[in-house]
């Protein structure tokens, strides 16, 4: 993705602005060395990388993947456990349902003064949610954050959000305008998919929704690259050529 000179200037100033906040400075002081070590072990130059976050609700796992700027393939960096999970498997379709969304999102906010220490906002509701969810009552303010409470968010504890927040600040300030966040109901491997089909056999609409998501998951598993996502007029996810 080409980045304009204006956007490059904004991104170069982004980290400086973040470091004006004491919690961000504390995170860097405590965790930057450990984060750099994770990237060194993966053979990825720090901070010249792009980031991908994948979340799996059934397993309560958040996976962090990254790739070097000169490489199209992502490598696994680390995992973080959900501290807790609200709601059940399935997408978020209305305000107040306590559901963690499911779908293809990106980080759209960095909150350095969160009630939950630090938090990373997810662009829920996305285009698909706006088509398929309750009109005028979708809710919002979905975050990956610290602490251990959730009403639709993904908490990973204050200790671990410091690491993830640093990774996201570095990715954005070094030229990644959108950090993708893919949230799945479960791992769509053979066993995971069979379990979903069996457990939710009486919910064909839900299975059909997951079948769309499974295409994106399978592409990443096979290629270590992200398939470009678009949304049909009916709200279904569809996949175009690869996005590098």
The end-to-end CA distance of the chain, in Å, is 7
Active-site option among 76, 148, 153, 182: 153
Q: What is the CA radius of gyration of the chain?
A: 18
Q: Are 230 and 236 in contact (CB under 8 A)?
A: no
Pick from 59, 41, 63: which is nearest to 51 by CA? 63
**Other C-beta atoms within 10 Å of 169: how many?**
23
Residues 6+ apart with CB under 8 A from 3: 11, 175, 177
Active-site option among 83, 106, 145, 244: 145
Peptide bond into 125 cis (omega under 30): yes
Give start and end residues of each alpha helix (H) in 155-203: 158-173, 190-199
168 belongs to the catalytic site? no
188: its two tokens: 């769509």
233: its two tokens: 């007029």
Integer Cα distance of 95 and 232 in angstroms: 23
Residues 6+ apart with CB under 8 A from 183: 54, 55, 57, 100, 101, 102, 103, 105, 122, 154
244 belongs to the catalytic site? no
State the catalytic residues.
Answer: 145, 153
């Amino acid at each position: 993705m080409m980045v304009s000179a204006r956007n490059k200037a904004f991104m170069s100033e982004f980290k400086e602005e973040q470091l004006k906040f004491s919690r961000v400075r504390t995170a860097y002081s405590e965790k930057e060395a450990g984060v750099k070590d994770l990237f060194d072990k993966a053979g990825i130059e720090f901070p010249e990388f792009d980031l991908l976050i994948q979340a799996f609700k059934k397993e309560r796992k958040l996976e962090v993947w990254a790739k070097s700027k000169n490489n199209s393939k992502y490598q696994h960096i680390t995992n973080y456990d959900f501290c807790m999970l609200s709601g059940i498997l399935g997408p978020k379709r209305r305000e107040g349902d306590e559901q963690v969304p499911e779908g293809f999102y990106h980080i759209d906010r960095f909150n350095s003064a969160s009630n939950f220490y630090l938090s990373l906002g997810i662009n829920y509701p996305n285009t698909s949610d706006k088509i398929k969810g309750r009109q005028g009552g979708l809710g919002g303010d979905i975050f990956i954050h610290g602490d251990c409470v959730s009403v639709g968010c993904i908490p990973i504890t204050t200790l671990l959000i410091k690491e993830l927040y640093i990774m996201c600040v570095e990715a954005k300030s070094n030229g990644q305008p959108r950090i993708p966040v893919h949230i799945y109901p479960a791992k769509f491997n053979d066993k995971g998919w069979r379990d979903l089909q069996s457990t939710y056999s009486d919910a064909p609409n839900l299975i059909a929704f997951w079948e769309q998501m499974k295409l994106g998951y399978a592409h990443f598993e096979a290629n270590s690259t992200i398939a470009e996502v678009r949304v049909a007029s009916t709200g279904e996810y569809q996949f175009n050529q690869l996005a590098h």
